[in-house]
Structure formats: structure tokens, C-alpha cells
Amino acid sequence: MFGATLLRMTFDPAPRVSVSDHVFGRLRDAIVSGRYAPDETLPGERELAGAFAVNRHAVREALRRLQQLGLVRVSQGGATRVLDWRVHAGLDLALSLARSGDVLPVETLVRDMLEMRACVGIDAARLCAERADPAVVAALVRAAEEYGDLAPDLDLMNKANIAIWRLVVRGSGNTAYQLAFNSLVAGTFAVGDVPPDARAAELLDVAGHRCLAASVASGQGAAAARHARELLTAPVTTPTSPTSGREARA
């Protein structure tokens, strides 16, 4: 353990970013930050390659990724146009945004992702309780029971918490929820440590997770949704302004 701490504190994991990753990140930030307005034409591949001092193929790989992300639209013969990411980009952009922030206020992004986590988690808990797969439910109950054993270590609890919610989302049988959950988890991981205090309160609520699992196991969707709401809305309502309604808990 001493060695691990020493290593983690002393040495970086090596800044090994590939060339195309570099180009991709720069262009993404430039587009999202608005330095390239929507409908504007990006420089040609050769020009970009010259500007970044890299090969054209590296630029092409970066452009392909930007295209898949919904940030640009390349067309053979024509110029590559910048798209409005607020309209064409998918949820995966959030991860990419969080990973190298600065371009968007990180606090707001984290709040948004926590809000979405609550929204999806609550409904997933309800669905999981209703159309439950026995195996998943059993795994969920077991995970919830073993959850308290990690009591003091917030890092471990966070991992276990993600595992629990992953089971819930899987149990919901909704692929879209599952994929969105992955995006959110990756995003919050990329952004580093989110609001520590509020999340800590949520993570340490071992009883709440047990109640959630029990509700799911007994097939009571409404109760599962209620418990999920109590767990998930705390981090989003506590640190932010008191605008969001507290009516649901009354």
C-alpha cells in the first residue's frame, strides 16, 4: 500500500496521448467552445495536417471521430462543416467534454449529470421492480447487503455503489437506460471527484440502499422509485440553490 501511494503521488501515468487524440481533442474543444461557429467550414485536411504538423491520416482519424460525435459533417469533395453540437451531438459528448473540461463550466456539467442520473435511476428502479429478472434481483440484494461492509472507504463504496446501480439499470431491461448510465458513469469518473460532501452523504446511506433492494425484490415499483429518489436527489438538491421542489419528500 505504501508503494502504491508513493507511485501514485510521485509519477504520472505517462502522458502518452496519440497524435490523432491530440488533434481530436483540440478540434473538439475549438468547436464546443464556439471558436468554430456552426455552419462554418473547417479548414481542409491538408491544411489542418500542416497546422498540427502531423500527417493527414491522423487528421482524418480525428475528423472521423468528430463526425461520429456529431460535431462536424464531412462530405467528399465539399468542405467539412461544423454542426451545432447542441442539436446534433449525443450524450457521449458529455464524457468527452468532462474529460478535458475548461470549455464548459464543470460544476454545471456535473450538476446536469447528477440530475440525469437521478431521473434515469428513479425510473430504472421502478422498472427493475416491475419487470424483474430473478437472477439480477438476487445479485442486487446480495450487493446491497455487502455494501455496508466497505463502510469507511468512500472510494470503494463509490465503486460498489456504481455496481449496485448498474444492476438496477440492468434489471430495468431498458437498453437505453443502460447506455445512458454508462455515459454518465464515465463522465463523472472523467471529471474527477464530484461534490464530495453531498455524494458522501448518499454513499454512506447504507440503509437506503438496502431499502431500495428490498423494494425491488418485493416487486413494489412505487416504493423502489421512492427510495431511489431519496438516494439520488440529495446530491443534486443539497449543494445547489433551493429552487428545486422539495414537495416530493413531504
Partner DNA sequence: ACACATCAACTCGTCAACTGGTTGTACCAG
Partner DNA sequence: CTGGTACAACCAGTTGACGAGTTGATGTGT
| 5 is an interface residue for DNA by CB under 7 A | no
Nearest CA to 117 out of 176, 51, 181 is that of 181
| 135 is an interface residue for a second copy by CB under 8 A | no
Contacted entry of DNA, a second copy, none for residue 44, CB cut-off 5 to 8 Å set by kind:
DNA
| 247 is an interface residue for a second copy by CB under 8 A | yes
Contacted entry of DNA, a second copy, none for residue 47, CB cut-off 5 to 8 Å set by kind:
DNA
CA 113 to chain centre: 7
Binder among 44, 175, 193, 207 for a second copy (CB under 8 A): 175
Q: Hey, what's the cell of 126?
A: 421502478
| 158 is an interface residue for a second copy by CB under 8 A | no
Q: Hey, what's the cell of 249?
A: 419528500
| 58 is an interface residue for DNA by CB under 7 A | yes
Task: Output the smallest distance, CB 151 to a second copy, in A.
Answer: 26
Q: Hey, what's the cell of 175?
A: 437498453
| 106 is an interface residue for DNA by CB under 7 A | no
Give the dihedral sign, CA 59/64/65/66: positive
| 212 is an interface residue for a second copy by CB under 8 A | no
CA separation for the pair 101, 107 (Å, rounded): 10
3-state secondary structure 92-147: HHHHHHHHCCCCCCHHHHHHHHHHHHHHHHHHHHHHHHHCCCHHHHHHHHHHHHHH
Binder among 29, 30, 40, 45 for DNA (CB under 7 A): 45
Q: Where along the sequence are the contacts to a second copy (CB under 8 A)?
A: 20, 57, 60-61, 64-65, 68-70, 86-95, 104, 108-109, 112-113, 115-116, 119-120, 123, 126-127, 130-131, 166, 170, 174-180, 182-184, 186-187, 221-222, 243-245, 247-248
